[in-house]
Structure 1
Amino acid sequence: MTGKVLVTYGTTNGSTAEIAEAVAGVLTKDGIPAETAPAGTVKDITAYDAVLVGGGLYGGRWHRDARRFVRRNRRALAERPVWFFSSGPLDPSASEKDIPPVPAVRRAMDNVDARGHVTFGGRLEEGAKGRIAKMIVRNGKGGDFRDFTEIEAWAEQVAGQLEGGGGAGEGGAGEGKTL
């Protein structure tokens, strides 16, 4: 693949943006030009040959900007390779087991024929926006549960598929983790 890849995301407190930056960094290091942008700011995806869409999970729902991005670009996304990622569990569960996409993300994946999805741990720390987020932190349930080694390994799998044109089958960056 010689074209650019967009890694776009919906985030409230910046955790998913940092994951997107890490993913784009791996792709770029592997010789695949990649750019990141908040999902709410992307107006046109025709310049990109592939798209990765990430969203923070809040109360079992993908971030509003990620959902709207997919709806707005549904036709164009269906014409190129697409992967989804979520971030959110505030415990080590995302590193311990495969966490399937929430139902709305599963439907969005089906609508654009996404090649795969993965859920990474989230981060919620002091200074978080939102009443519920502040309460979670105040009650000692926050922290940083992202595993950047795992994130980078997933990005390598996506890069391999982009370079080789392979599908999301066994050993790919398809559903779940194959690390």
Structure 2
Amino acid sequence: MRKLFLEYKRSLRLAKEMRRKIECKEILSEQDKIDKELIGNMISDLEYSIEWLRIGRNPDSRRGIDKQGVYLTDPAILNALHVKPLYSTITRGISNFKKEMIEDALCTLTEREKDVFIMIHAEGLTFDYTAQLLGVKKSTVQTHLERAEKKIQDRKNQSLFLVS
């Protein structure tokens, strides 16, 4: 699902670039006007889809059951954060407390740092593939990951949720 989310983000970025190229022209032909309208519709649809994937529910819905991020339901993130389990038995779902712990640890990260951290640690993607999906250099991915890990470690040392 994360891969789909990133593909949509990349498609959105490409669609915005195409629209900018058309808008830079001084005189628009009829085909340019049609293309601009179609690209605008694509951008709108992509933004709606990205928002739906990001929040895990219909963006038009006014009463969502869970307003936390979709990534909070992924147990691999607990392992990536090195959070000790609260119970010795394995439970089927993640408790609300654990979700709050994850949210607390990730709240200081920027959106890009969060994406990189989850892609590398929770999904097990390589630096190269992560860089390709995000449209950045491998060194940028490494920098974002280092920053994210440092912020999470600082948060774990300071937060009442994650002290154990």
> Please, what TM-score do these two structures have when normalized by structure 1?
0.22
Larger C-alpha radius of gyration, 1 or 2? 2
Q: Which has the higher helix share?
A: 2
* TM-score (structure 2 length as normaliser): 0.24
Higher strand share: 1
